[in-house]
C-alpha cells in the first residue's frame, strides 16, 4: 500500500483553553508530515484576527505549511487584498479561497459586498494576481445547496480552476459512491486538478448531523444505526468512529484515492489513529507533491 498524502484542517481557537487544545493537537499531528494544514475563517469573516494569528504562529513555530481559509463575505476587494498581502508578508504561501456564507449562516440567500469579490473564482484570480500563492478551493460531491443543477455546480468549479485553483477539497460525505460519481462529472468537464476528499472523523454524531443539515450533506441510514444509542457512551462511540472512518478511507484508496483532507475539529486522537493505519509514522517523510 502506498502511503497517501494527508492534510489537516483546524479552526481558530476562541479561548485560552481551546488554544492549548489546538496546539497540543498540532504538536501530535505535525510529526506525521502533512502536505499542509489549514485554518478556517469564521462565517462572515468573524475570525479574521484569530485565523491570522493562528496561521502566523504555525509559520513561526512549526515546520508545517499552513493554508489560511479566506472568504469574500462582507469585505471590499481592498480589505480582502490587504489580508492576502498580509499573509504573504508573514510567510504564508497557501490560501483556501471561498465565497463563504452570510453571517446569518448557510441557507440565507448570499449577497456579495458591492465593492467586494463577487465570486470565489474572482477571489482565486485576485489572490494569484497579488502573489504566487498555492490556492485550494471547495468542491461538493452532493452539490452545493445554492446550485440549481449539476451543470451549474461543475461550471462553478471549472471557473475556479480556470482562475488558477491548484486543487479542490470536498465537503465531507459518507457515501463513497457519491465521490466516485462526482469525480466522473469533474473529469467529463475536463477539470484536471486533484479533488481531495474531505473526511470528518465523527467525534459527536449529533454535531455532524447538524453540520450535514446545514451544508446539504447526506447521512446514510447505516451510519445513523451505527451511532444509535451511543450519545452517553464515549468509549464505544470513539471505537465506532475510528472503525467507520477507517472503512471509508480504505475503501476510497481501493477506488484510487491517494490523498485525504481530515477535518480534525482540533482533536488529534481519531485522525492520528487513522493516519497510523494508513501507514504514516512520525519519521515518515511524505514527498511534497501537489
- Active site residue ranges: 9
Closest CA relative to residue 216, chosen from 277, 268, 140: 140
Report, in Å, the least distance between residue 27 CB and ligand FAD. Answer: 22
**Contact residue for ligand FAD among 62, 83, 90, 106 (CB under 6 A):** 106
Q: How far apart are the first and last CA of the chain?
A: 19
The DSSP call for residue 220 is: -
- Using the contact rule CB under 6 A, the part of the chain among 59-67, 146-154, 217-225, 282-290 near ligand FAD is 146-154
Interface of this chain with ligand FAD, residues 59 to 78, rule: CB under 6 A: 69, 71
| H-only helix segments in the chain | 16-29, 48-61, 77-89, 120-130, 150-162, 176-188, 205-215, 221-227, 234-254, 269-277
Report, in Å, the least distance between residue 9 CB and ligand FAD. Answer: 7
Q: Partners of 205 in the beta sheet? A: none
How many CA atoms are closer than 13 Å to the CA of 185, on its beta-carbon side?
21
- d(CA 11, CA 79) in angstroms, rounded, equals 22
Q: Of 214 and 243, which has the nearer Cβ to ligand FAD?
A: 214
Q: Of 4 and 197, which has the nearer Cβ to ligand FAD?
A: 197
Q: What is the contact mask toward ligand FAD in residues 200 to 219, using x (rule: CB under 6 A)?
A: ---------------x----
* Residue 40 binds ligand FAD, judged by CB under 6 A: yes
Q: Of 119 and 218, which has the nearer Cβ to ligand FAD?
A: 119
Containing 254, the helix (H) or strand (E) segment is helix 234-254
* Residue 156 binds ligand FAD, judged by CB under 6 A: yes
- Is the Cβ–Cβ distance between 144 and 105 less than 8 Å? no
* Paired sense of beta strands 167-172 and 195-199, if any: parallel
Report, in Å, the least distance between residue 136 CB and ligand FAD. Answer: 7
- d(CA 180, CA 168) in angstroms, rounded, equals 15
Report, in Å, the least distance between residue 50 CB and ligand FAD. Answer: 12
Q: Which residues bind ligand FAD (CB under 6 A)?
A: 40-41, 43, 69, 71, 96, 98-101, 106, 119-120, 138, 144, 146-147, 152-153, 156, 169, 171, 198, 215
Amino acid at each position: 500500500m502506498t502511503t497517501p498524502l494527508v492534510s489537516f484542517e483546524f479552526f481558530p481557537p476562541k479561548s485560552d483553553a481551546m488554544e492549548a487544545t489546538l496546539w497540543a493537537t498540532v504538536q501530535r499531528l505535525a510529526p506525521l508530515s502533512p502536505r499542509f494544514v489549514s485554518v478556517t475563517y469564521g462565517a462572515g469573516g468573524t475570525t479574521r484576527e484569530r485565523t491570522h494569528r493562528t496561521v502566523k504562529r504555525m509559520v513561526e513555530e512549526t515546520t508545517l505549511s499552513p493554508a489560511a481559509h479566506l472568504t469574500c463575505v462582507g469585505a471590499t476587494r481592498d480589505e480582502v487584498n490587504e489580508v492576502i498581502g498580509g499573509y504573504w508578508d508573514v510567510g504564508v504561501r497557501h490560501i483556501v479561497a471561498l465565497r463563504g456564507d452570510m453571517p446569518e449562516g448557510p441557507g440565507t440567500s448570499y449577497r456579495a459586498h458591492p465593492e467586494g469579490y463577487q465570486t470565489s473564482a474572482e477571489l482565486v484570480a485576485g489572490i494569484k494576481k497579488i502573489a504566487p500563492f498555492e490556492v485550494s478551493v471547495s468542491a461538493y460531491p452532493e452539490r452545493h445547496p445554492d446550485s440549481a443543477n449539476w451543470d451549474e455546480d461543475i461550471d462553478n468549479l471549472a471557473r475556479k480552476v480556470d482562475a488558477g485553483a491548484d486543487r479542490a477539497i470536498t465537503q465531507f460525505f459518507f457515501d463513497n459512491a457519491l465521490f466516485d460519481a462526482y469525480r466522473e462529472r469533474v473529469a467529463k468537464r475536463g477539470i484536471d486538478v486533484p479533488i481531495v476528499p474531505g473526511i470528518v472523523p465523527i467525534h459527536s454524531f449529533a454535531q455532524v448531523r447538524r453540520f450535514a443539515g446545514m451544508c446539504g450533506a447526506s447521512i446514510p441510514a447505516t451510519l445513523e444505526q451505527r451511532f444509535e444509542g451511543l450519545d452517553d457512551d464515549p468509549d464505544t462511540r470513539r471505537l465506532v468512529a475510528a472503525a467507520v472512518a477507517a472503512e471509508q478511507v480504505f475503501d476510497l484508496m481501493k477506488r484510487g484515492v491517494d490523498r485525504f483532507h481530515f477535518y480534525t475539529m482540533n482533536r488529534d486522537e481519531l485522525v492520528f489513529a487513522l493516519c497510523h493505519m494508513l501507514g504514516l509514522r512520525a519519521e515518515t517523510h511524505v514527498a511534497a507533491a501537489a
